[in-house]
Chains A and B, each alone.
Chain A
Amino acid sequence: QSALTQPPSASGSPGQSVTISCTGSSSDVGGYNYVSWYQQHPGKAPKLIIYEVSKRPSGVPDRFSGSKSGNTASLTVSGLQAEDEADYYCSSYAGSNNLVFGGGTKLTVL
């Protein structure tokens, strides 16, 4: 159960778009369409923002979108806003009733 690989940091100016990658293997990201993304503000619990690679729970702005190609999933935040500054974690089903998370990406809105 190795953690998925995410860049430690990402940044963008208000109104811009930023994409965060999440790289795994054929045993997790590449093998299943069960990728999710969570947003976590400091001192708060994580919040589900994307599931099943690209679906958004109700209430999540359509500025957040997800995709996957091969063993890499991506989260794109469009029209960056100050409140988007947070840590973002990807997660994937890894077979045999296991879940694996990424190491997290700190998104800074400049």
Chain B
Amino acid sequence: EVQLLESGGGLVQPGGSLRLSCAASGFIFSSYAMNWVRQAPGKGLEWVSVIGSSGDKTYYADSVKGRFTISRDNSKSTLYLQMNSLRAEDTAVYYCAKRHSSSWYYSDSWGQGMLVTVSS
């Protein structure tokens, strides 16, 4: 069974930094691209970033480009999201998600989500 467990969220001041982790199990982590998707309180889903299976390719939404960095450690089956220069509008539940076999455009397994609150 695929399991994705996020950690590292919490309260941070505007301009601060935070690193999210996503521990994966139940599948060959190194074979799959991974996404981060976020959801502001009471709002819809927003794609944040994707990383290729080997970590060589990374892409970002314009809203986080230059501030967030996605990375992975395949030896630890763990995905990361380093978030810098955080803003109030980054407040959201952040989900890590495994790509579907068809394409990284779809995510077929999701973590339980981790709340990040940016506030003074």
Residues of chain A from 34 to 62 with CB closer than 8 A to chain B in the complex: 34, 36, 38, 40, 45-48, 51-52, 55, 57
- Does B14 sit at the interface, judged by CB under 8 A? no
- Does B27 sit at the interface, judged by CB under 8 A? no
Residues of chain B from 89 to 120 with CB closer than 8 A to chain A in the complex: 95, 100, 102-103, 105-108, 110-113
A98 pairs with B105, CB closer than 8 A: no
B108 pairs with A102, CB closer than 8 A: no
Interface flags for A71-110 (1: CB within 8 Å of B; 0: not) read 0000000000000000001010100011111111000000
B47 pairs with A45, CB closer than 8 A: no
- Which residues of chain A are near B46, meaning CB under 8 Å? 101
B110 pairs with A1, CB closer than 8 A: no
- Does B45 sit at the interface, judged by CB under 8 A? yes
**C-alpha spacing A93/B47, complex, angstroms:** 11
- Does B56 sit at the interface, judged by CB under 8 A? no
- Which residues of chain B are near A36, meaning CB under 8 Å? 105-106
Which of B37, B44, B62 makes the CB contact (< 8 A) with A1? B62
Count the A residues whose beta carbon is within 8 Å of the partner chain — how many? 25
- Does A10 sit at the interface, judged by CB under 8 A? no
B111 pairs with A99, CB closer than 8 A: no
Which of A38, A99, A103 makes the CB contact (< 8 A) with B105? A99
**C-alpha spacing A101/B105, complex, angstroms:** 11
- Does B50 sit at the interface, judged by CB under 8 A? yes
- Which residues of chain B are near A1, meaning CB under 8 Å? 61-63
Residues in chain B within 8 A of chain A (CB atoms)? 35, 37, 44-47, 50, 59, 61-63, 95, 100, 102-103, 105-108, 110-113
Residues in chain A within 8 A of chain B (CB atoms)? 1, 3, 34, 36, 38, 40, 45-48, 51-52, 55, 57, 89, 91, 93, 97-104
Listed A/B pairs (13) with beta-carbon separation below 8 Å: A1-B62, A3-B44, A45-B112, A48-B100, A48-B107, A48-B108, A51-B103, A51-B106, A57-B100, A91-B47, A98-B59, A102-B44, A104-B44
